[in-house]
Amino acid sequence: MGNVMETSRPHDGAVDVRRVRVGCEFVHVAAVDTPTVFQVGLQDAAPVSLAHHAWSMEPQRRIRRYTDLYGNPCVRVVLPAGRSTLRYEAVVLVPDATEDADEQAQELSPEALPDEVLIYTLPSRYCLPDMLGDEAWSRFGAIPPGFSRVQAICDYVHRHLTFSYGSSGPSSTAVDVNTSGFGVCRDFTHLAISFCRALNIPARYVFGYLPAMDVPPDPAPMDFAAWMEVWLGDRWWTFDPRNNRRRKGRILIGHGRDASDVAMVTTFGAPLLESMTVRAEEELA
């Protein structure tokens, strides 16, 4: 089937909500039929509620859904030879509130961490706590453990890196951007995650849509966003070293060890990406 449309009933809740429309479009040109995985559909999980979403593709091709090892929703398609367009759109209800924060949230010692979060203390392709450990302990080791130390890491990364499109590439690691001082949102996130993991604080990479709600609009074209979640106490907490402020309207696509686990498009071939557009904006009455 080339077009998939679904609706979901909103979650119950007393918090005021706002309506956000998100979506994206990818135009590829392929020399041959190319199997491809797209990871751009959002997760229907609290605190957001999925009201409607739909996939479509021109020319029509079968779109098959699956869930990856981190629990993220993905779709598989075969891009046909020639030009093809894949679109995703969704309407989401989001809380009219910024994400939770608790300055009393505490770090756990490694032996007290849940088994399933231990993987997020280890090095991964882009996050290199083993190579940044000395710097992490010298900069942040004296700060009292807990929420405030993670926030200090975000404050430093936010100041240290300058946001610049094209300043990093597919092979740029946290060490590379720490040295250069430039990066995009995924690089800010990789560096902050690396510092957290070097201090034995579990941190995972998060990828999603981030509309400009109750903040000044960004003059740059809309794009996907990256931030991180850190395990403190008994749960994951959201931190955003790129924007370094609590925000409304974060809409999760996926999470993993770093950007390699939540690539928006994975192609088993070499099609040309002709264009990509992203949409994330509040629907006003």
The verdict on 150 and 174 lying in the same domain is yes
User: Domain residues for 26?
Assistant: 3-97+264-282
pLDDT > 70: percent of the chain: 95
Does residue 147 lie within any of the structural domains? yes
Which of 85, 89, 53, 63 lies closest to 1, judged by CA?
63
* CA distance linking residue 29 with residue 39, whole number of Å: 19
Does residue 258 lie within any of the structural domains? no
Q: What is the pLDDT of residue 1?
A: 45
Summarize pLDDT for 121-143 with one digit per residue, the tens: 999 999 999 999 999 999 999 99
Does residue 103 lie within any of the structural domains? no
Report the helix count and the strand count for the chain, using DSSP H and E.
Answer: 4, 15
The verdict on 230 and 124 lying in the same domain is yes
Radius of gyration of the chain (CA): 19
Q: What is the pLDDT of residue 219?
A: 82
The verdict on 76 and 140 lying in the same domain is no
Q: Which two tokens stand for residue 236?
A: 């994951």
Total number of domains in the chain: 2
Q: What is the pLDDT of residue 285?
A: 67
Does residue 104 lie within any of the structural domains? no
Summarize pLDDT for 43-88 with one digit per residue, the tens: 888 899 999 999 999 999 999 999 999 999 999 999 999 999 999 9
Q: What is the pLDDT of residue 46?
A: 87
Q: What is the pLDDT of residue 218?
A: 81
Q: Which two tokens stand for residue 229?
A: 């979640």
Q: What is the pLDDT of residue 19?
A: 96
The verdict on 33 and 65 lying in the same domain is yes
CATH of the domain at 200: 3.10.620.30
The verdict on 125 and 169 lying in the same domain is yes
Do 94 and 20 touch, CB atoms closer than 8 A? yes
Summarize pLDDT for 162-183 with one digit per residue, the tens: 999 999 999 999 999 999 999 9
* CA distance linking residue 246 with residue 227, whole number of Å: 11
The verdict on 9 and 31 lying in the same domain is yes
Does residue 252 lie within any of the structural domains? no
Does residue 102 lie within any of the structural domains? no
pLDDT > 90: percent of the chain: 90
The verdict on 138 and 40 lying in the same domain is no
Position 104 pLDDT exceeds 70 = yes
The verdict on 206 and 233 lying in the same domain is yes
The verdict on 147 and 189 lying in the same domain is yes
Does residue 270 lie within any of the structural domains? yes
Summarize pLDDT for 181-215 with one digit per residue, the tens: 999 999 999 999 999 999 999 999 999 999 999 99
Does residue 205 lie within any of the structural domains? yes
Summarize pLDDT for 1-47 with one digit per residue, the tens: 455 545 444 444 467 999 999 999 999 999 999 999 999 999 888 89
The verdict on 88 and 124 lying in the same domain is no
* CA distance linking residue 251 with residue 245, whole number of Å: 16
CATH of the domain at 79: 2.60.40.2250
Q: What is the pLDDT of residue 4?
A: 54
The verdict on 89 and 117 lying in the same domain is no
The pLDDT mean for the chain works out to: 94
Do 135 and 217 touch, CB atoms closer than 8 A? no
Q: What is the pLDDT of residue 11?
A: 46
Position 227 pLDDT exceeds 60 = yes
Summarize pLDDT for 86-100 with one digit per residue, the tens: 999 999 999 999 999
The verdict on 58 and 132 lying in the same domain is no
Q: Is 177 helix (H, G, I), strand (E, B) or coil?
A: helix
